[in-house]
Amino acid sequence: MPTHAIEPAEAGQRLDVALARLTGAPRSLVAGAIRSGDVLLNGAPEKASTTVAEGDVLDFVLTPRAALEVRAQAIPLEIVYEDDDLIVVDKAAGMVTHPAHGTRDGTLVNALLAHTSGLPGDALRPGLVHRLDRDTSGLLVVAKNEAALSALGKAMMRRFIEREYLGLVVGTPERAEGTIEGGIGRDPQNRLRYTIRADGRAAVTHYAVRERLRNASELRFRLETGRTHQIRVHLSAFGHALVNDPLYGRRDRRVDLPGQALHAWRLRFRHPVTRKDLEFEAPPPPAYERAKDILRG
């Protein structure tokens, strides 16, 4: 087990920051080693946030993560549309979009690779033009060749791909429709969360009340931007968190949903090759509709 004595220039740093800078390892790898007890400060395990002092002794073992390998898996897919250039799929709630170290298989990408081979782009995110959170259901467009991926990627950046969502929220906004704006960045207190920050990336969410429920409502959302967790962050800050959102709101035991009650129900864009305007709709899944019935009271 390597050993290091904290030098004056390192004193006052967080344990995880000091070790990451010392070794050049990713913070995520360091954090995992600290959680698993592979990092000792003066002979004892400590929290990642512990401040180190000059002369403190670090003992540590950092085991690199095994490289991710993406394999095809025969997982059922709800294909809404497909041609030689693209696929539109209705992703199920609870399905991760692409593999990561927390979820190596069972993802939408694993299923897509079994459905069609040779998807373009990044090895872990082949064909993906955009993503949905694990527990958000609904429509995604996937490119089947490099030309389509490039064209659709540019269309997304220029906001030419229109996406609308349906969501169940706690309470009812005072105004029947409106716009929520606020730059989004990582929450410095919780790396799993995002929050509205002055230095965050610009984000704009338009909403309209679709149905008033009992102490809740169904809203329709239209995005101008596509930041991570955008709707969830904006609605939480707005005071109307999504129903059953475990990260930005709270679990609701009355509903049988894996997470937040959010569904990407409408998708509009111009075909990257034929230049025809395409529009798709997918109704919310049965579990969402049952949750809405419960919230009607």
Give the model confidence (pLDDT) of 229-279 as tens digits: 999 999 999 999 999 999 999 999 999 999 999 999 999 999 999 999 999
**What is the per-residue burial (b if ≥16 Cβ within 10 Å, else e) of 250-259?**
eebeebebeb
State the pLDDT at residue 190.
Answer: 82
Which is the catalytic residue, given 56, 90, 133, 245? Answer: 133
State the pLDDT at residue 27.
Answer: 82
133 counts as catalytic:
yes
Instruction: Identify the H or E element spanning 157.
Output: helix 146-157
CA distance 194 to 200: 9
Residue reference for tokens 């490039």: 150
State the pLDDT at residue 271.
Answer: 98
Residues 6+ apart with CB under 8 A from 250: 241, 244
Domains belonging to the chain, first-starting first, are: 3-60 (3.10.290.10), 79-296 (3.30.2350.10)
State the pLDDT at residue 100.
Answer: 77
Residues 6+ apart with CB under 8 A from 9: none
Low-confidence ranges of the chain (pLDDT < 70): 1, 65-68, 101-102
State the pLDDT at residue 63.
Answer: 81
CA distance 128 to 112: 10
State the pLDDT at residue 86.
Answer: 98
| Whole-number Cα distances in Å, 170 to 57, 86, 137, 194, 214 | 49, 36, 19, 20, 9
